[in-house]
Amino acid sequence: MSETFDLKETLLEALKTKNAKKVREIFDIIPNIDIAEALEDCEDVTLLVYIFRVVSKDYTGDFFAELSSEQQERIINAFTDKDLITLLDNSFADDIVDTIEEMPANVANRILRVAPTDLRKDINQLLNYKDNTAGSVMTTEFIEMRDTTTVKEALQTIREKGRDAETVYTIFVKDAKRTLVGTIDLDDLIFAKDEEQLKDIMNLDFVTCNVNEDQEEVANLFKRYDLNAMAVVNNENKIIGIITVDDVMDILVEEANEDIAKLNKVSNMDEPYLKTPIHKLVKKCVPWILALMILQIGTAAITSGFDHLIASFAVLAVFSPLILDAGGNSGGQTTTMIVRSLALDEFEKGDFKRVIWKELRVALIIAVIIGIFATAWTFFEMSVLHIGEIDASKITINKTLAQFFVALLVGSTLMVTIIISRMIGCVLPFIAKIIKIDPAVMCGPFTTTIVDIVSLLTYFLLWSEVFKGLIGLTA
């Protein structure tokens, strides 16, 4: 925190005093993301524009990409067309697309109007792909070479064009028909003989993704095969772009934020919390709260149906929240693990039965442990802490024995609840996957609601059918 504060003060002082040397020194030693965050609250757009006047173009493109959309818009509006062209020339097409998607129509149109013809073509190509697909996150700045190119020629090409490419660490090799036939890592190229052709040293076991493939599947491929870059191909296996590991990091953060938001019944946050207006936060939260209130009508109906039991033996109401919470937590744990595994594509076809059998064994062991502990703890609460007092005039057996039976009721209910809740939490994500609904959206509220209903039904049915007679409840 102190380093960021010092950076902000030093940088703003250098900008206000037009100390170009100091500004350039900061950009030489501080990452662009840290500088962008330090200037996040800078209101004077002239100071921001000054950076683009004095700092090397090697930094300005990446620095601009790290700024917030509000700062980017202000800078673009302050730029002349010549300044904007210079910025576009030093930026990658995928970063420009990200900027355009956040800009008002007039700003976006201006960017497209001043962009060089080739760059405009690349931008329009990326804009036409569906959101969250490989095509929407790929970049078109990459190095591709013919398979007949020699190592010497390839190295010379990298020296000439490498600075304009997203990465030089992976070279993509095509044949005469522009079909991708292999890849070469930079280190393999460096140690090869000058006269060798790329087709003699290229990797044939490369991994690609289709342009329409979901970005989450792309991220899983990077993880599975430990990639730095991957070719994006069309249906004819022609390379049209690449995705790099830094793009995948953005995808993983985006997907994680989205899943966390969905699991917690909050609409996905598309901007930082402190910058989100209050009315947007209210709008994101209220619909889910109302929906879950409506879904909880089942538990209200069950409680109402057994209200005569609660009226005759009030201690039942004391421990019902404990049962509901334990059941929801247990089901939620399973749902989280299964949704995560589905998102990471860990399961193969036919694994459903294996998952169910494994989760059933886990549920049985947990249920026994929790059931025994809950029985002992509930009995301790009642007999020692005097939580949930029993009216001795309403029972025909010893009060201590009655307390034990109530504790046993709670423990037995929890055993049944945990087994059922974990099975529900296990099955629902697979059902959601089959009917093509995001498991993170469906499973959280459904698991909680179903488990609450099952928990209360088990609790009151066990009481009315078994434990009521054991305790000897009088009228």
Alpha carbon 360 to its chain centroid, in Å, reads: 28
The mean pLDDT value for 34-62 works out to 90
Query: What is the three-class DSSP state of 210?
Result: strand
CA gyration radius for the chain? 31
More confident residue, 346 or 195: 195
Helix segments in 44-150, DSSP class H? 45-54, 57-66, 69-78, 81-89, 93-102, 105-114, 117-127, 134-137
Tokens of residue 408, six digits? 């046993």
Q: What pLDDT, on the 0 to 100 scale, is given for residue 468?
A: 75
* Dist CA 77 CA 107 (whole Å): 8
Residue 2 pLDDT > 50: no
Judged against a pLDDT cut of 60, whether residue 388 lies above it is answered with yes
- Quick one: 296-471 is in which CATH superfamily? SLC41 divalent cation transporters, integral membrane domain (1.10.357.20)
pLDDT at residue 467 greater than cutoff 50: yes
pTM for this prediction: 0.54
Summarize pLDDT for 34-44 with one digit per residue, the tens.
999 889 888 89
Q: Quick one: CA torsion of 187, 188, 190, 191, rounded to 10 degrees?
A: 120
Is the predicted pLDDT of residue 357 greater than 90, yes or no?
yes
Are β-strands 229-233 and 239-244 bridged in parallel, bridged antiparallel, or unpaired? Answer: antiparallel
Q: 266: closest CA among 295, 288, 282?
A: 288
| C-alpha distance across the termini of the chain, in Å | 67
CATH of 144-254, one of 3.10.580.10, 3.40.1710.10, 3.30.70.1060, 3.40.50.720: 3.10.580.10
**Mean pLDDT confidence for 368-386:** 90
CB-CB contact of 428 with 439 (8 Å): yes
Ranges of each domain in the chain: 2-128, 144-254, 296-471
Q: Is the pLDDT of residue 413 over 70?
A: yes
Decide which of 64 and 465 is more confident.
64
Which residue shows structure tokens 């901007």? 271
**Which tokens hold the place of 55?**
């700092």
Quick one: which of 42, 28, 90 has its CA closest to 70?
42
pLDDT digits (tens, 9 = 90+) for 175-223: 888 789 999 999 999 999 999 999 999 999 899 999 889 888 898 899 8
Return mean pLDDT, the chain: 83
Q: Which helix (H) or strand (E) holds 244?
A: strand 239-244
Q: Which amino acid is at 1?
A: M
Question: Cα–Cα distance between 443 and 430 in angstroms, integer?
Answer: 10
pLDDT in the model for residue 192: 93
CB of 96 closer than 8 Å to CB of 111: yes
Q: In the CATH scheme, what is the homologous superfamily, with its name and number, of domain 2-128? A: MgtE N-terminal domain-like (1.25.60.10)
Is pLDDT above 60 for 4?
no
Average the pLDDT over 116-141 and give the result: 83
pLDDT for position 375: 93
Band (pLDDT 50/70/90 cuts) for residue 229 is very high
Tokens of 23: 């500004």
b/e code 141-178 from CB counts within 10 Å (16+ = b): bbbbbbbebbbeebbeebeeeeeebbbbbbbbbbeeee
CA atoms within 13 A on the CB side of 165: 20
User: If you average pLDDT over residues 12-25, what whole number do you get?
Assistant: 92
Residue predicted with more confidence, 337 or 273: 337
